[in-house]
């Protein structure tokens, strides 16, 4: 992908007014985001923010013993690296590509310059940050209080919202790492959804067959997160 940046490819970019987009577009670099690529590690200084186009990035908290759990997912609706413009420079989480694709990246200095202009981009990024914090908080509540198959439904729906199709390339082991549970639990939950005709799972490919059924089965956590994103980030304001 060596073409010029497409504003409509990422919802945050698409929501930027024309002057801000014209200023930012020449600074964006198209990058490959292969499965498993680590965009930043816990505690490491960030050099770029990333705007996914057709990839999904998982934000994970990693324990000292190596165990991990997902705290949020980011796709074409947002960006990865909020610590850069929030003033932290680093974060205790890890960002890993969970569904391969492409994205745009922007140097740390450039996103800070745009943020410090205190214009439309600042307000857009702050609203996005609030939506992301809502997702993180709801994920913590969901993991504590809801069943594994409800968590899996939530995870599938959030991932689908960030892709253009109905298929995810994802092993059960990776899903287990994301949800912070045993692989056997994910296998049982996935088989249950497959028997109900909601998904088809084979060789690392999950195809959603009945989204409406997933939405009926999922806990309220999915709707809370989606409603907050829709409220704070009405899509494609500028296009």
Ranges 52-66, 78-92, 109-123, 222-236, most confident:
109-123
Task: Give CATH 2.60.120.10 domain extents, the chain.
Answer: 7-141+227-232
Concatenating the DSSP letter of every residue in the chain gives: --SPP-GGGSHHHHTS-HHHHHHHGGG-EEEEE-TT-EEE-TTPPP-EEEEESS-EEEEEEE-TTS-EEEEEEE-TTS-B-HHHHHT-S--SEEEEEEE-EEEEEEEHHHHHHHHHTTSHHHHHHHHHHHHHHHHHHHHHHHHHHS-HHHHHHHHHHHHHHTSSSSEEE--HHHHHHHHTS-HHHHHHHHHHHHHTTSEEEETTEEEES-HHHHHHHS-HHHHHHHHHHHHH--S-S--
Span 147-218 CATH architecture: Orthogonal Bundle (1.10)
This prediction's pTM? 0.86
Nearest to 59 by CA among 44, 74, 45, 47: 74
At the topology level, CATH places domain 7-141+227-232 in Jelly Rolls (2.60.120)
Task: Give CATH 1.10.10.10 domain extents, the chain.
Answer: 147-218
**Lowest mean pLDDT across 3-7, 51-55, 102-106:** 3-7
pLDDT of residue 238: 40
CB contact at 8 A, 76 and 10: yes
pLDDT of residue 63: 77
- pLDDT tens track for 103-138: 999 999 999 999 999 899 999 999 999 999 999 998
pLDDT of 237 strictly over 50: no
pLDDT of 65 strictly over 70: yes
Q: What are phi and psi of 91, to 5 degrees?
A: -150, 150
Burial 208-231, CB ≥16 within 10 A → b, else e: beeeebbeebbbebbebbbebbee
């Amino acid at each position: 992908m060596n073409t010029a940046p497409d504003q409509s490819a990422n919802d945050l970019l698409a929501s930027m007014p024309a002057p801000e987009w014209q200023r930012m577009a020449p600074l964006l670099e198209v990058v490959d985001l292969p499965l498993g690529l680590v965009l930043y590690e816990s505690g490491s200084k960030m050099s770029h923010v990333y705007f996914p186009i057709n990839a999904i990035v998982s934000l994970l908290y990693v324990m000292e013993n190596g165990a991990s759990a997902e705290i949020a997912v980011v796709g074409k609706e947002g960006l990865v690296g909020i610590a850069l413009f929030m003033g932290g420079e680093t974060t205790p989480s890890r960002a890993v590509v969970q569904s391969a694709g492409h994205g745009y990246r922007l140097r740390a200095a450039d996103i800070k310059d745009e943020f410090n202009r205190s214009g439309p981009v600042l307000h857009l990024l702050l609203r996005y940050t609030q939506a992301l914090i809502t997702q993180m908080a709801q994920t913590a509540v969901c993991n504590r209080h809801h069943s594994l198959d409800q968590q899996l439904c939530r995870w599938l729906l959030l991932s689908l919202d960030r892709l253009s199709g109905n298929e995810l390339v994802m092993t059960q082991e990776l899903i287990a790492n994301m949800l912070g549970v045993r692989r056997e639990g994910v296998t049982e939950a996935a088989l249950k959804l497959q028997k109900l005709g909601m998904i088809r799972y084979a060789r690392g490919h999950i195809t959603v067959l009945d989204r409406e059924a997933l939405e009926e089965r999922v806990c309220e956590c999915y709707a809370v997160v989606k409603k907050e994103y829709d409220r704070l980030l009405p899509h494609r304001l500028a296009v």
